[in-house]
Amino acid sequence: MSANANSSEKSAAGWRLKLGAALFGLSILLPVAGVPLVTALGLSTTMTASVSGGLLVGAEVLGVCAVAVMGKSGYAFIKNRVFGFLKQHGPPQKVSRGRYNIGLVIFCVPLLFGWLSLYISEWAPGLLSYPLPFAIGGDVLILASLFFLGGDFWDKIRSLFIHDAEVHFPQ
């Protein structure tokens, strides 16, 4: 009798995990694909905003329903798989000196450009007319630099927000 109960629990957990994963995928797909589709339909501004807002709220509700359907163990399983994948393909803990220096340059260039953009706007064509490509380019460079700098850099950034953190320079 316990073997039957055990197999029925596994099959119930299997379909619940699959249904929860499908709901979770749908909750991500709704705003990513639905909002641009609604925008492209050429509806009135009010209707586009209303439908887009409904899609975003619906996506949030579907996400909560997905976690409820999967249960705690199913959610933990999915979370471990996703974070395991990201950790495997994320930045390495230690990087070479050259890679670190390149990462620092890539990290600092968008920060300096953002700070100086108001002063150099008359010499940079299109900076004031089309600021979005410049902003997106800077954000992409900062994100790329974090992968160049490696995992140790994350620890350095984190230590900025810890009051008792101390610096230990190598001899």
Encode pLDDT of 26-83 as tens digits: 999 988 888 888 888 888 989 989 998 999 999 999 989 988 888 888 888 888 888 7
Residue 107 pLDDT: 92
Sign of CA dihedral 10, 16, 18, 24: negative
Identity at 38, one-letter amino acid code = V
Residue 87 pLDDT: 74
C-alpha–C-alpha distance, residues 19 and 1, integer Å: 27
Residue 119 pLDDT: 85
Give the chain's largest Cα–Cα span.
81
Domain limits, the chain: 2-88, 97-159
Q: Looking at residue 124, what DSSP letter applies?
A: S
- pLDDT beyond 60 at 6: no
Range of lowest pLDDT (8-12, 107-111, 140-144): 8-12
Which of 81-85, 114-118, 137-141, 163-167 has the largest mean confidence?
Answer: 137-141
Task: Please write down the long-range contacts of 40-44, taking CB distance under 8 Å and 24 or more positions apart.
Answer: none
- pLDDT beyond 80 at 133: yes
Question: What's the rounded mean pLDDT across residues 88-111?
Answer: 85
Model pTM above 0.85: no
